[in-house]
Amino acid sequence: MKRLALLPCCLLLFLLLPSCREQEEKNLPRISWSEPSARYRIHEGEQIKLIPIVQYTDETTVYLWMVDDRVLSTATLFNFNGEQAGEFYVKLIVSNRYGETQDEVKVTVLAKETQLLPELPPPGGWKFPWTSINIAQGRSIKVKAYMTEGQEEVSQVFHGTAQGRYTVTLTALQQGAEVSQDFIINVCPPEGSYRRGSAGQALVDRVYEFMPAPGHQVNGYIIVGDAFPDGCTHQQACDTVLAHFQRRWSISLGAQGGYLIAGFDHSVPASTDGYDLCIKGNPFSYQSEPGIIWVSQDDNGDGLPNDQWFELAGSEYGTDNETLEYAITYYRPRQAGSAIGWRDCLGKTGYVPYMEYWNPHDSYWQPWVEGTATTDSLHTIERTWFGSRLRDRSTYQNGMSDMPAYDWGYVDNLGDFFEDRAGKMGYYKISQARTWDGQPANLQYIDFIKIQTSQTGSTPNLGEISTEVYYISDYHLEPETD
């Protein structure tokens, strides 16, 4: 017969107590938040809804919302009213039968900023993105002048059937007078003539152009500090961007149209339908700032991105959500601390807001970005950016901004983010490249890449939509992971 060893009652109770305490701690309420704290930023007179995520609730659960040790609410959600400017710490205490847990969030209430909105000058004359370009034999290109709203398009399609140097002249009526512009097109040897090997480093090895549109994050902001030195030259700016990519640090392209052009130390081959490019942005659940991707081949073999560009078609290509052949002109104000106005080829106007809280620099127009001098007394120069535009779908309600993602095909867009060879980022296919008339370009490879902010919107607490980029690489050369 087996005998049972009986433990003294006090020892048995001692052994059980830790287990009970562990169980109670396990069932304590756990608090997290539906949004990152950076989003809790409103202006005076606005309201923001604080939504906690609380685990382990039951019929005994009690909520206490406190500011400055004053209980303001016992509801599960809390509407914070921004009655005056300042920083406020909102404490949430949640209790149940096992005990209580507390956490707090900081809500920043900004003073209402009075925007300096200089009156925009009248529309200027026609504009064009290039006057000289290289294309491969057998390709065609559309030569176009961008006009102001209400004027007829002036364009011509050129077919590069034979190699050589050609001149296309466009003529238009401007203010009752006839004006003309010559465009030089160099028809180079067929695609593949200057293709380089497919081996090299994964990361782009050179930034050729960095032409951001105005934006409050381009030259640093309160979270990261200055990105570029005062009086920065264009070459210094390009070198800084490449250094950021090498560290996987971000750069901002500014508002609609702002872009960068980078190149690889080899030709990136195009898969039949697989991924070829890795590009990292920083989209959030509430903030996607999609940038359109363009690719190019070194058609004349000079190692410079002076060749024909092809857009990588994303989910909105060919729909009402995208405007192709788009141009937007920004006007640099003479007065410091002023919003920057814009006018586009559709006749629409708007402003890139000045946001002193985020970035107190005198101007969000970068010193290396040149333009055309104006005779307008309120502005010094103007510059036009060309590309494509996606419909702005941003909203602002109850102190919260929402910039929803598109499905796929864009940089800094949550719809593209997933985990693969290079980590969590966007992955893209050269097979999506399209010609000027929307047909598949069927590129065998690329040498250069351009990324461009593609929306004109802004919200009061986050500012203008501006694509951020951290990293650009050749997918094929990224190490495979198990």
The predicted pLDDT at position 229 comes to 80
Confidence grade of residue 404 (pLDDT, cut at 50, 70, 90) = very high
Mean of the pLDDT values across residues 95-104? 92
pLDDT on residue 36: 61
**CA dist., res. 278 & res. 272, Å (int):** 17
pLDDT band at 161 (very low <50, low <70, confident <90, very high): very high
Domains and CATH numbers, the chain: 31-110 (2.60.40.10), 195-477 (no CATH)
Which residue type, as a one-letter code, is found at position 262? A
Model confidence at 1, in pLDDT bands (50, 70, 90)? Answer: very low
pLDDT digits (tens, 9 = 90+) for 125-143: 888 999 999 999 999 999 9
Better pLDDT: 251 or 125: 251
**What is the edge-to-edge ordering of all strands in the sheet holding 177-188?**
132-136, 177-188, 164-174
- Contact present, 474 and 274 (Cβ < 8 Å): no
> 113 pLDDT exceeds 50?
yes
Indicate the pLDDT class of residue 116, thresholds 50, 70 and 90: confident
- Whether 410 and 391 have beta carbons less than 8 Å apart is answered as no
Q: Is the pLDDT of residue 14 over 60?
A: no
The amino acid at 98? Y
**Residues 6 or more apart in contact with residue 457 via CB below 8 angstroms:** 392, 393, 394, 403, 464, 465
pLDDT at site 2 = 38
The CB density around residue 265, as the number of other CB atoms within 10 Å, is 16
Q: 382 vs 480, which has greater pLDDT?
A: 382
User: By mean pLDDT, which of 21-25, 69-73, 249-253 is the weakest?
Assistant: 21-25
Mean pLDDT, residues 100-128 = 83
**pLDDT of residue 345 exceeding 60:** yes
Q: What is the pLDDT of residues 291-312, one digit of tens each?
A: 999 999 999 999 999 999 999 9
| Model pTM score | 0.84
Beta strands 340-344; 349-352: pairing state? antiparallel
Measured distance CA(392)–CA(387) in Å, rounded? 15
Distance CA 434, CA 442 (A): 8
pLDDT of 6 higher than 70:
no
> pLDDT at position 5, please?
43
pLDDT at 444 over 80: yes
Task: State the average pLDDT for the chain.
Answer: 89
Q: Are strands 322-333 and 340-344 parallel, antiparallel or unpaired?
A: antiparallel
- Which pLDDT value is given to residue 35? 66
Do 56 and 29 meet the contact criterion of CB atoms below 8 Å apart?
Answer: yes
More confident residue, 303 or 378: 303
Distance CA 83, CA 420 (A): 46
- The Cα 13–Cα 284 span in angstroms is 50
Determine the 3-state secondary structure of 91 from DSSP: strand
- Contact, 83 vs 436, CB < 8 A? no
Structure tokens at 146: 């961008």
Mean pLDDT, residues 354-370: 90
pLDDT of residue 23: 55
3-state secondary structure of 36: coil
Mean pLDDT of the region 43-69 = 89
Q: What are 448-479's pLDDT values in tens digits?
A: 999 999 999 998 888 899 999 999 999 999 99
